[in-house]
Structure 1
Amino acid sequence: MYSANSKPSIFRFAFIWLLSFLMLSCATVNKNDKGYTKGGQPGDILHNYINANISDNNTVNSLLADYKGSKNLSTVVEKYEDEIAQLYKQKVLSRKPSLSEDAKKTLFANITSNQASALFALYPIDTAKWMKTISTYSGLSKNDIYESAITAGLDPSIVFAASASGFEDTATPLINSIGLVIYGQDEESTAAVKFRTEDDTYWREGLDLAWEPIYGSFAGSIVYLEADTTYHIEVTITDAYGDIVEHSFQTTTKPNTPPIDPNKIYYLSEIYSGGQLDLEALNIEGSADGYAKIIGDGPVVEAGSDVLAAVNIGNNSYVMLENLTVKGGQRYGIFAKKAHHIWIKGCNVSEYGREAVDIRNGVAYSSTTNNSPINYDSGIYLERSGIAVIEECEVHSPNLGANSWAVGHPKGANALQVWAYHDSDAYRGEFIVRNNRFYGAPDHRFNDVIEGRKNFERRGGFVKNSAIYGNYLAYSNDDLIEIDGGQQNVLVYDNEMEQGYAGISIAPNTLGPSYIFHNYIHNLGDETGKEWTAIKAGGLISKPAGRTYVFENVIDVERNGIAASKVNNDTTFWVTTQNNIILTKNTGYSVGYCIFDKEKYSGSTSTNDLCFNERTGDARYEFNLDNVVEHPYSDDFAYIELLQSSSEPTLYIPEEFKIPNFSTEVALQAVVEQPPTMWEFKASEIEHTGFPKQYRYGTTTISDDNTVTLTGNNWQMFPINYILTEDSILELELEVEGNPEVVGIGFETDTKLNSSRVVKFYGKQAWGIRGEDSFIPKSSAITFPIGQYVKGKVNYLILVLDNDDIESWRNRDKAVFRKLVIK
């Protein structure tokens, strides 16, 4: 799946790094710099601003009157200046630990309607918390609070919905995952997950559920599950006081194929005679007991521009299309509206959509009189439809390619368009898009490959509980995939993406969490060669408020790994990233960053990500640096070059950073390197050299059976690629002659000597990891628990025969290493 590219040598990396250092490059932001500030919600920003500037000469009101922050926040300050001043003086704005019930009653008893509106505007992410607090402790009526929330610009659909009443906890199964939501929760609590199959006698650990602040819930997904399998799930919620509540679920994942009604199997040659294939006219649909199935058996569905779609499903439901070749359609290849339970498998869709009659300023129109550019034509479009599977399809070659950003926002066709907001809540979301190939061409590109409608709304895009995995997506002039809008338990994983202006768009995430993991995003660029970022985010404050988890992706791009895009002039985003490989090449303003977050949102974190910019030779962040834990090999040029030159780049992940269910349950392709059950040291196949500053003199002999014999004062270094785990065991046979100071084996990451990584098995000098008890002089087999002393990536195996205490002409020391293996 991964294509190797030629990479600069380690010597070039070293030179670039030295040059950058000497030029005092600002590649890494220093959080002690005066200009470094962390971002948060508008209320946090204002509170910090007032605290930092208040004095006898600067009152709260005067500071607010003079506030010169962002346009969006300045508008809030202007509208609620008096209310914000009162809330500050009453100490409502300050972040506090959990308050007692009496303290809350005192603090919020006299909150006014206008003050409530100000709170909702200042803390848009904390909708559920403020709804609950004001409803419980203030004297305001339900109608007063409703009006306050609407005045502040909150979505009416969530006003009061944040309470537990009327909302049922859910466990929603897809084919290979389950999405969970538990309502009526508190941010200070935690929600631990464990799960097992019906037949398992043991529990497996899942990733903790995430706090979801809009409805006041915990939500999250269990992934890499078996199809058509019953799972038992237990969620343990522990509150700030240590009280525990258990929530139990039992549900069965969906099967890999739908049930088929044997009386409703149709071969295309029997029902199709040309033009549009209209399932509504043919009255083809199934039921919950069995889908109606149409099987392609030779004929090609070819429709002209006189019909909206070549295949019209309409609002018929429980329909499966298999192995159809579809061409044509004025707007769409395959189209459904307000349908549910649709399964499209193995179909090939092309030559659909409108053609340009008029080109104005580089943008295509369908006629000289039409004022709307050609846009949103789709290979497959399921409008206002839910519960669908699209798998093993190819969508390509639309009639019209999209324009590039050179003439404005791209407009044109897409491969798949999704709006999963069915009229009935029971049928919303639950899209599965797997193992497809959706691709344009270098000079004939999609707008977005997978595009969502109503992007800025919670009812837009995939909506909830959907999975996009195992796909190849290529050649767009904008995004390769959009999941903008409602994203709760929307999963994007195991995909390969290339040749787009941006990879995955999550701007905005209006309801989370969503998960992006184990994707390979590389070789970006629109038709002009320009690109922005692998993952595009934004709109956290203007369209609150979902978190996205970004786990264990391989990103190899020119510009940025994760970067913002404005949503209603708001670039704030909320991500939790961990164990990613993010390699960038270029530099400049807003270019070359692992994560580019000008707002530095305080809730975002980056943990154990390996980030490297080729030009500066280091990790570049524009981010909340208090929340960055860098990968231990972020500065190891040899390791980074190894990743860049590999056709399947892998990342060493220490045990403490492995992610339950995401890292440990499955052998992850091209992300987590799993050591073989036994590694054998094949010295005869490896180039070796003396270890710097330690090799003095002596001979090194390697026999055909990989026995290595050292004489003299001799340290030999063998490049290897291995990861030691806590359970790793070293086995070898060792024979020693003479009276050396140290005989042993080292496991180094670089060419600097580290005594804590060298095991001494014999010798008169007290040095290194003491392994003498494992060796019976002067010859014996050795079994040593190396993983208890050294863990992690090993780049060099060092064989040691050391004796600085004797002249070379008198030295008769010899060490023989045989049958060296690690298990």
Structure 2
Amino acid sequence: MNNFSGRHLCCQYRLFFILLAFLPLPGSALAATGQPRLEIYPTFVSAGIYLNDLTAGTPEHFSANVRFRKIGNSDRTRGGREELAAAAWQDAYELTYHPADHQARGILANLASATTYEVSVTYTDSGRAGTAIATFRTLSDDVPVAKTITLTPADLANGFTISESGTADGYLRYTAPPGVTLIGSIQKTQAILLIKANYIILENLTLEGGNYNAISIIDCEHIRIRNCDISNYGTERVLPFDTSGRHSVYRDNGRNINNQAGIMIRGGSDIVLERNYIHDPKSRANSWFYSHPAGPNAVFLGGARGVVLRYNDFVGSDLHRWNDAVESNINGDIRGGPWKDAEIYGNYFGFGNDDGIELDGGQINCRVFRNKFEGTLCGISTAPCLRGPSFIFENLIVNLRDELGTANTALKNNYSKRGDGKILLFNNTIVTDVDAVSGFGKGDPDRVSGNLKFVSRNNIIQAANIFAGGVFREKTSVDYDLLSLVRPRTDVDVFARLDQEKQETHGYRQTAPFRDAPNGDFRLQPEVREKLRGEKIPNFSPDGKLGTALAMPERPLDFEISAAEVRLDLQTTNAQLTLTPKIEPPARRENTRIEFSIVQPVATNYFAVTPSHGVLEAGKPVTLTIDTKSTYKDVKDARLHSGAFLIRMTNGFSRPVTVYFDNRADDAKVKTRRANVIYGKIEPPGEDERQGPNNKTPGKSASCKLVFDLTPDQAGKYYLFGRFKNRVSRILLNDKMMWIRSGEQQLGREIPNVPCWGNIGLPQGATNAPFVLLAGRNEFVLAPAEKQPFEMDAVALGKEPEDFLYAPANFAR
């Protein structure tokens, strides 16, 4: 139907109003000068709803009921013209009213692509009532192609720029021959530049290079990048780190190395990234051990409306960690990041030193759902949500840790700007050793709408702390969640705080019975999910069940796997998993063969998968073997190795499998790593030190003195480490408060496993620079921080944090 072929046409609407009043009424912020205007912004499986030109002065003076229904083709005709048959009406979730914008907004979820819908909004606005009705069509998986251009390596030799546009009736499609790798010039900022080009497809490209980004998309509309393999872009870092400033750990001829992206998006609209595999950038991000991470991204974006990220694999590794897998440009600005009508689903976000994704910015009708986040410091960042509402539902956040084992929070909200946007957390599964949900920034928001800031329903949360205390400084509603602690807490009663705040009055407080957590299946056991009921949420969870029954990340695949996570060590060096086809027998389906290949980042050389490719057929499962024994000769360090491989189809759909390999008990590799470590002596303090350096202040008297005698050739920069026998997070070093950082320590918290090596350094956010030590005798005086007595039986100096933090509980020397 041509009426629904474009963005603007598909938002045509029919409005029917019953206006009860035309004069300003109590609670009115704007005199009623016209009819409210309904705008729909559809993507593939969801749509943003905007009811504009409202008058209410507060949310209490506005209300609305939203319904929608699918409209399909019918065999009935009237006067030779085909009619549309409509399905039954369904209730949608409530709209959030923003008085300053004179606008109520929300979303429709769980739609079908390439489908026509009708939506009805019945509202009361400062006393006047009416109904607005609109029809719209969701985006189609396929678009018409007017011309296909086949790229060759010669085309990218001096950079390749696309500025010519296609049309809505015919996209320009760029592809490459199978097996050909396109390599961008290292003299160019990007391998491929799209600038002010519209209706473009990049498809089936294997792309490397660009000295900053592989692909840059600037002020473009209607772009689709699909089934591309993107790697080896950006600038190689120079080791060791220079820690003279926050971002100066990435200096390349005086230039910061940060936010180099596989795909960079700046401005524009309607940009779709789907089924792409982005991995192995040239650079790597520093961890929070040094300072705020800086380094590469899979995607770096800002200022674009209607961005869709679906079914992508953003796979980092221990040697090429992301900063954030997907990072927001201009975080504190309304147009920062995926600022409006973003649809982000079915993606895998793996192995970064900061966030899995930053939504930071406006987050106006942003929807993030059915993704998997793991191996990052934080899962999802909403810091800040300036306008909202932001919908986060049915995601899996698990195995949070940066390259040194530090983690922070699953949902990060704290930022200097607090933001007025509402965040809605529905049916997610969070399993982490740290906080599930952080507090919000303490700074004053730029405006106050009076809406709830945070809503949580039907989530499964297993964490060290559920909701940080700062969550309840805002207007918050949390209930019907399944909550449990990963370990007992002695410092605070988490559930008593919820009772005090009158939250989670219908929530469950019990350990989540997952289907198979050791093998990465964090779905509730079916019988338990049927029994435990949460709140019925229109359009999201109408049956009121907790969590989700879908495997994450959600993908339309024709096979299942027996394990999504494999854990190996020095005793268990291999494992097997089974691929089971869901294909119908040949009599019921034409295509009964699925070809797949195994792909993994180059840096994950600690394991091998066999077979490397194969075919799935109905009734014929395939077994994969993951092995670390045959690759162990190439493994340099003893650490918890973290990474993933993909079982990938030719069309780019895949199933990621995580592989953890723990060889921290390998004494030989630990000794090799620590070959140049300098061990010191622990001596009783002198009389002056015993009395304390702060005028004999009680509680600050020295406990011990650390002594290192260095030869002239040993003088230089070192990090300080102690082997602690008790749990401790802070200590006084020469009367200055320092933090204890361990590879098994959570950010800003005590070491959970002792005895354990830990770094004595500056706190998070500060530049944790090494000490500059001279030849001769070097002394440090240690004293306990308040209420933090410590026991330490060994001290050492190391050039790199990896010397001790890769295997902090291994004491080989």
TM-score by length of 2: 0.57
2:365 and 2:535 mapped to 1: Cα distance? Answer: 22
Q: Report the Cα distance in structure 2 between the residues aligned to 1:276 and 1:621, rounded to whole angstroms.
A: 64
Does the 8 Å contact 1:600/1:624 carry over to 2? no
* Residues 224 and 666, structure 1, Cα contact 8 Å, conserved in 2: no
SS of 2:540's equivalent in the other structure is coil
Offset at residue 210 of structure 1 (A): 1.9
Deviations 1:770-817 (A, max 9, x none): xxxxxxxxxxxxxxxxxxxxxxxxxxxxxxxxxxxxxxxxxxxxxxxx
1:430 CA displacement: 0.5
Deviation of 1:178 (Å) = 1.1
Match of 1:195 among 50, 59, 68: 68
Count matched residues. 496
Of 258, 282, 285, the residue aligned with 1:402 is: 285
Match of 1:659 in 2: 537
Distance 1:648 1:257 in 2: 33
Structure 2 counterpart of 1:670, from 548, 564, 577: 548
Alignment check: 8 A CA contact 1:483 1:504 kept: yes
Report the 3-state secondary structure (helix = DSSP H, G, I; strand = E; otherwise coil) of the residue aligned with 1:403: coil
Alignment identity in percent? 28
Change (3 A) 1:569 1:533: farther
Q: Secondary structure at the match of 1:459?
A: coil
Counting only pairs closer than 5 Å after superposition, residues 306-345 of structure 1 correspond to structure 2 as 306-345=187-226
Q: Given the alignment of the two structures, is residue 393 of structure 1 paired with residue 276 of structure 2, yes or no? A: yes
CA displacement at 1:623 relative to structure 2: 6.1
Residue 496 to residue 486, structure 1, CA distance change in 2 (3 Å): same
Sort the Cα spacing of 1:297 and 1:245 in 2 relative to 1 into closer, same or farther, 3 A: same
2:521 to 635, 647, 651: 647
Contact 1:612 1:619 in 2 (8 A): no
Change (3 A) 1:516 1:439: same
Q: Do the aligned partners of residues 502 and 254 (structure 1) sit closer, same or farther apart at CA in structure 2, a change above 3 Å counting?
A: same
Per-residue CA shift, 1:29-62, capped at 9, x if unaligned? xxxxxxxxxxxxxxxxxxxxxxxxxxxxxxxxxx
Kindly provide the CA deviation profile for residues 478-512 of structure 1, in whole angstroms up to 9, marking residues without a partner as x.
11001110111111100011011100000111111
Structure 2 residue aligned with 1:257: 142
Structure 2: gaps (5+ residues):
1-22, 72-84, 552-813
Indicate yes or no: 2:576 matched with 1:576.
no
In structure 2, C-alpha distance between the alignment counterparts of 1:437 and 1:166, rounded to whole Å: 45
Separation (CA, whole Å) in 2 of partners of 1:103 and 1:245: 16
Counterparts of 1:318 and 1:485, CA distance in 2: 27
- Cα deviation for residue 570 of structure 1 reads 8.0
Contact 1:275–1:302 (CA<8 Å) still a contact in 2? yes
1:178-216 superposed Cα distances (whole Å, 9 cap, x missing partner): 110112153123222111111334111111112334413
Contact kept? 1:598, 1:622, Cα under 8 Å = no
The Cα of 1:246 is off from its aligned counterpart by 1.1
The Cα offsets for residues 696-721 of structure 1, whole Å up to 9 and x where unpaired, read as: xxxxxxxxxxxxxxxxxxxxxxxxxx
**Residues 532 and 546 of structure 2 are in contact (CA less than 8 Å); yes or no, is this contact kept in structure 1?**
no
What displacement does 1:355 show? Answer: 1.8
Contact 1:385 1:419 in 2 (8 A): no
Gap regions ≥5 residues in structure 1:
1-100, 105-128, 137-162, 422-428, 585-591, 674-823
Measured in 2, the distance between the counterparts of 1:352 and 1:437 equals 16
Task: State how far apart, in whole Å, the 2-side matches of 1:102 and 1:309 are.
Answer: 55
Paired with 1:168 and 1:276, the residues of 2 have a C-alpha distance of: 49
| Residues 624 and 209 of structure 1: CA distance in aligned 2, closer, same or farther (over 3 Å) | farther
Cα separation, partners in 2 of 1:633 and 1:305, compared to 1, 3 Å: same
> Residues 534 and 312 from structure 1, CA distance in 2 versus in 1: closer, same or farther, beyond 3 angstroms?
same
Within 1, Cα distance between the matches of 2:273 and 2:355?
Answer: 20
Deviations 1:601-643 (A, max 9, x none): 35211110111113228854766954523455424x5x64778
One-letter identity of the residue aligned with 1:287:
T
Residue 544 to residue 669, structure 1, CA distance change in 2 (3 Å):
closer
Of 206-215 and 513-522, more deviation after overlay is shown by: 206-215
C-alpha contact (below 8 Å) 2:530/2:545 kept by paired residues: no
Q: Take 1:527 and 1:569, find their aligned partners in 2: how far apart are those partners?
A: 34
Q: How large is the Cα RMSD of the aligned pairs?
A: 3.2
Q: Which structure is higher in strand share?
A: 2
Give the 3 Å change call, closer, same or farther, for CA 366–520 of structure 1 in structure 2. Answer: closer
Rounded Cα–Cα distance in structure 2 between residues aligned with 1:215 and 1:615: 45
Native 8 Å contact 2:433 2:486 kept in 1: no
Q: What displacement does 1:389 show?
A: 0.5
- Aligned mates of 1:349, 1:166 — CA distance in 2: 49
After TM superposition, the structure 1 = structure 2 runs for residues 88-167 of structure 1, keeping only pairs within 5 Å, are: 133=29
Say which of 217, 229, 233 aligns to 2:119.
233
Comparing both structures, which one devotes a greater share of its residues to helix? 1
1:3-402 mapped onto 2 (5 Å cutoff): 133=29, 168-183=37-52, 184-186=54-56, 187-188=59-60, 189-198=62-71, 199-238=85-124, 244-261=129-146, 264-269=147-152, 272-280=154-162, 284-298=164-178, 299-357=180-238, 359-361=241-243, 370=254, 372-402=255-285
The code of the aligned residue for 2:165 comes to E
Contact 2:428–2:458 (Cα < 8 Å) also in 1: yes
- CA gap of 1:273–1:408, structure 2 versus 1, over 3 A, is same
Q: For residue 457 of structure 1, give the secondary structure of its aligned residue in structure 2.
A: coil
Shift of 1:313: 1.5
CA deviations 1:443-480 (Å, max 9, x no partner) are 32010000110110111111211111000110110110
Deviation readout 1:358-403 (Å, 9 max, x if unpaired): 7311866665651x53111100001123210000000010111000
By how many angstroms is 1:239 displaced?
A: 5.6
Structure 1 residue ranges, 4+ long, deviating more than 6 angstroms after superposition: 101-104, 163-167, 569-573, 653-656, 665-669
Structure 1 position 543, deviation (Å): 4.8
Cα distance in 1 for partners of 2:430, 2:144 equals 39
Alignment of 1:472-621 (within 5 A): 472-539=348-415, 542-564=417-439, 566=441, 574-584=453-463, 592-598=464-470, 600-616=472-488, 620=495
Q: Take 1:607 and 1:214, find their aligned partners in 2: how far apart are those partners?
A: 29
Paired letter, 1:556: V
Residue type matched to 1:319 in 2? I
Q: Check 1:253–1:284 CA distance in 2 against 1; reply closer, same or farther (3 A cut).
A: same
Offset from partner CA, 1:141-168 (integer Å, 9 cap, x none): xxxxxxxxxxxxxxxxxxxxxx987984
Partner of 1:122: none
Q: Distance in 2 between matches of 1:629 and 1:367?
A: 48
Residues 639-665 of structure 1: per-residue CA shift (max 9 Å, x gap): 647786782422457667121111138
Shift of the 330–667 alpha-carbon distance from structure 1 to 2, 3 Å rule, reads farther
Question: Counterpart amino acid of 1:486?
Answer: G
Contact 1:214–1:511 (CA<8 Å) still a contact in 2? no
**Kept in 2: contact 1:490–1:515 (CA 8 A):** yes
Q: Which amino acid aligns with 2:112?
A: E
